[in-house]
Amino acid sequence: MRPLLRGLGLVSVLSLAGASLAACSPAPPDPRPAAEALVEALDAGDLSAVPMTGVEPAAATETLTTAYGSLEAVDRDHSLVSVAVDEDSAEGDGPATATGTIRTVWDMDETDNDFTYETRATWELDEESDRWQLRFDPALLAPDLAAGESLAVSYEPAPRGEILGAGGDVLVTERPVVRVGIDKTRAEADTWESSARALAELVGVDPDAYAERVAAAGERAWVEAIVLRDDETRTATDAEIAAIPGAAANPDTLPLAPTRTFARPLLGSVGQATAEIIEASDGRVSAGDQVGLSGLQSAYDATLAGTAGLTVSRYSAEGEPVAELFSAEPAPGADVETTLDRDLQALADSLIADSASPASIVAVRPSDGAVLAAASGPEDNGYNTALLGRYAPGSTFKVVTALAMLRDGATPETEVQCPETITVDGRSFKNYDGYPESSLGTITLAEALAQSCNTVFIQAAGDLGAPALAEAAAALGLTAEAATGLEAFLGSVAADSTGTELGANGIGQGVVQSSPLGMATVMASVVAGGTVQPRLVVDPAPEGAASATGSPAESTPPSESDSSSASDSSSSAAPAESALTDEEAGTLAAMMAGTVERGTLTDLQSVPGAAVIGKSGTAEYDAEQNAHAWVIAAQEDLAVVAFVEDGQGGSQTAGPLVRDFLTGAREASAAE
């Protein structure tokens, strides 16, 4: 054989031998299943089932727990971007390796601005088991993360939105306060108790309870006693506080109304989030956050609070910051606009501030349903009587019964019988003590309403039937679903009452219930000449909001925490066939004018300006004849109700409140 051919033959033999050897070395298995298993383990926060080399899975899990522990409440998601066998390793003498890219996304807040990053993971092929084993490195958890390091987030509160009144008038905004308390590092231990008691006495908190809190706190603790407005109403000066060892007044701001009592149950308050609020927030609220605790502040907290700014940093094992990884600027909260009139609300608050029992004054503008004032007293009661109170409306409900009578064919001149007493199914009813004898016997319907004859309306209720009363109540807006923008109850009127219950319903007792807002709505509907739907929050508009006498308008729902459209009313809004007509309203208004001209509310004749119309009501609620006192009234485009839970009678107890409110409103209007 010639040398060239022999050389070619040798090359061919070697090539075939190499091909044969290559065929005996199988390709590494697909690393994707191992990579996907790692991603699932990262999502679960448990690496104990992940095959590893160089470190025990339990130790890797501990590293993960340390790294992510402070972000436990933040949702995160891991996903596999890519994974492939490293070509060089497959052709080398050592074990094959694979490299993957993992994307981690932290949902830090309600915005789309998530904390996102990618890290790399490496696997090594175990030749004996032919399985991929993770070369665990803390840096696959977060960029450049080392053993013992961790991620943590700090927050910067967003400026809170304001609560506005009519015309954009600022009602609730950041106002200066002082946080008064004991700094235990600034006093000797043997003075802590005496200082706590002295400070409690100075600022008006329980000395025993505060002293116990101070004693239970740590040796270096700050123990707050009270937050005071830093204005002319402040009851303790800096000098008085500083004279007590360890006591201090630290300046701050809080979202506050113009005064401590201004629409307090309605507007609500802001304070530190409770455990219940944190749990219900789905991660939106954290410990230490300032949130709305009641009223509009609570219902619209997500709107008002905005989105806090945040910074995610990497911290050393000693807790020192190493690097900032992510940040987001705070997004200010949005304002909540209401229909409240500052002057009228302040007037209403002042009139019932010292009431001996729960009371309310509500004012509604009939032309558009705007709630101008919704006061609940006394000032230390704290309950939103104006919107949530459920009481028998007494004889103010006779306006409803009168409407049902008009719809049955009666007129103001229709003659009706007003005996001293009437018996229904064995129960005797009578007129109120002091009812004028001159208005007994045969009288007109107009006179029966003006003088508030019980027996006329009890008899009428029985003749008309419960459905007629319920329909009339709906037409006057009493049993509509509240769409005020805040949890509210208007009223309920049973459509299936019979016998004595039905008779009592006719005079606003029995099972009839109303809130002060509900009866103000009845009065507003009479003045407007159509069914009024009261509105309080303008922006963001509550779901299902409607114009005063119109259909529900297109609107955006309030925040998720809002309970604005909640109502326990047993009836829906008046259907179209029973909506109040202008003629019906005019007839009712004319009869209610008689109540002021010659009936139970003659005291309202002293109100300056245009003529006042109205109706008084007294609802006895126990065997001792304790009674709720009501008056509903209107003057031009202003409808008002005054309610006192324990009163002598509508005209005697609630009447002066309405008189003073309408007089004050007239004076305020003249002064503008």
CA 118 to chain centre: 40
Least confident of 2-16, 349-363, 444-458, 623-637: 2-16
pLDDT at 23: 44
pLDDT at 575: 57
Mean pLDDT over residues 178-187, rounded? 97
Condensed to tens digits (0 to 9), the pLDDT of residues 82-99 reads 999 998 876 667 899 999
Integer Cα distance of 340 and 467 in angstroms: 35
Q: Which of 299, 206, 258, 211 is nearest to 566 (CA)?
A: 299
The answer for residues whose C-beta is within 8 angstroms of residue 425's C-beta and 6 or more apart is 499, 500
pLDDT at 284: 74
Model confidence at 192, in pLDDT bands (50, 70, 90)? very high
Integer Cα distance of 483 and 503 in angstroms: 31
Condensed to tens digits (0 to 9), the pLDDT of residues 19-48 reads 444 445 578 999 999 999 999 999 999 999
Condensed to tens digits (0 to 9), the pLDDT of residues 210-265 reads 999 999 999 999 999 999 999 999 989 999 999 999 999 999 999 999 999 999 99
pLDDT at 25: 57
Q: Are 182 and 215 in contact (CB under 8 A)?
A: no
The answer for residues whose C-beta is within 8 angstroms of residue 408's C-beta and 6 or more apart is 463, 464, 468
pLDDT at 590: 98
pLDDT at 127: 87
Share of the chain above pLDDT 90, in %: 79
- Write down the mean pLDDT value for the chain: 90
Mean pLDDT over residues 307-322, rounded? 94
Beta bridge partners of 256: 173
* 38 token code pair: 């790692």
Condensed to tens digits (0 to 9), the pLDDT of residues 610-654 reads 999 999 999 987 766 689 999 999 999 999 999 999 998 899 999
Domains and CATH numbers, the chain: 26-148 (3.10.450.100), 163-328 (3.90.1310), 342-671 (3.40.710.10)
Mean pLDDT over residues 519-548, rounded? 86
Integer Cα distance of 324 and 334 in angstroms: 29
Range with top average pLDDT, 284-293, 376-385, 468-477: 468-477
pLDDT at 396: 98
pLDDT at 623: 65
> For the whole model, what pTM was predicted?
0.82
* 122 token code pair: 């490496």
Mean pLDDT over residues 410-432, rounded? 96
Least confident of 431-435, 470-474, 533-537: 431-435
The answer for residues whose C-beta is within 8 angstroms of residue 286's C-beta and 6 or more apart is 73, 155, 273, 278
